Homo-oligomer: A and B are copies of this chain.
Amino acid sequence: MSSVVVDERPLPLRARIQQVFTAFVAEHGFRGTALGDVAERLGISKGTILHHFKSKEALLARVGEDYIDRRERELRQILRRVQDPRERLIAFILSITLCHRDDLDATRVFGREFARYADSPHLNRVRERRRGYTHTVEEVIVAAMDAGVLCRDEPSVVALQIFGMCNWTWAWYQPEGPLTIEQIADRYVRTLLRGLGTAEAIAAEESVARSAWLRALVAESAALAWQGQAVREG
């Protein structure tokens, strides 16, 4: 969360390895990343990395595991603090969009590297947890349908439409662009709620999306998700 939390204590080496590795994989892909380059960037030896992590693949798995941890905690925070089905949905959309600024490298890695490689037990565990996460999201969607906010439809397909629009962000977003991530997130919320919503719901409400407290709540949830993990060990 480079640009939000400002905790400038020097990170333990283990965490710095993970961080630099994540950045490399985000830029060059898993197979395009050489542990030697990561070591050089950190001014340490290649052996040190393998001392802290069993293998290159285990390192990737740890990155994915930590990422899904953060997303799960974040989502849990949101569901704990928001009850209204419509607002839950909005908060969810905001959260998975905002993490493209606050957790960009890991988001890229997660989006790209955990799609393929159907085998490999390490990565499969992460994929399984993602399925669990998706399942929770689908429950949020069904609740929104029950409340008359969204049109009835196959929840999995609705979820994929939402994920699709938001997740594409990592393919083009750059922090220095003309639009802030908040502006982008607002667009997504508006488009998706109108696009997937019932006629009544659209007519009734005029963009609660930008209600300040929802935004603040999401930001807070994200911050909490990061903290919960600061202590993580080998």
Q: Give the residue name and chain of the B residue nearest to A170 (CB).
A: B115
With known contacts A115-B171, A164-B168, A195-B194, A187–B31 Cβ distance under 8 A: no
Cα separation A188 to B160 with both chains bound (whole Å): 11
Question: A187's contact among B28, B115, B157, by CB below 8 Å, is which?
Answer: B157
Contacts known (A28-B116, A32-B31, A195-B191); A165 close to B171, Cβ less than 8 A? no
Bound Cα distance A154, B183 (Å) = 11
- A190 interfacial by beta-carbon distance below 8 Å: yes
Task: Give, as a whole number of angstroms, the nearest-CB distance from A206 to chain B.
Answer: 11
Number of A residues with CB within 8 Å of any CB on chain B: 36
- Chain A to chain B contacts (Cβ below 8 Å), 22 pairs: A28-B116, A31-B31, A112-B112, A153-B187, A157-B179, A157-B187, A160-B168, A160-B169, A161-B165, A161-B191, A164-B165, A164-B167, A164-B168, A165-B165, A165-B168, A167-B168, A191-B195, A192-B195, A193-B195, A194-B195, A194-B197, A195-B196
CB within 8 Å of B: which residues of A?
Answer: 27-29, 31-32, 112, 115-117, 153-154, 157, 160-161, 163-169, 171-172, 178-179, 184, 187-188, 190-197
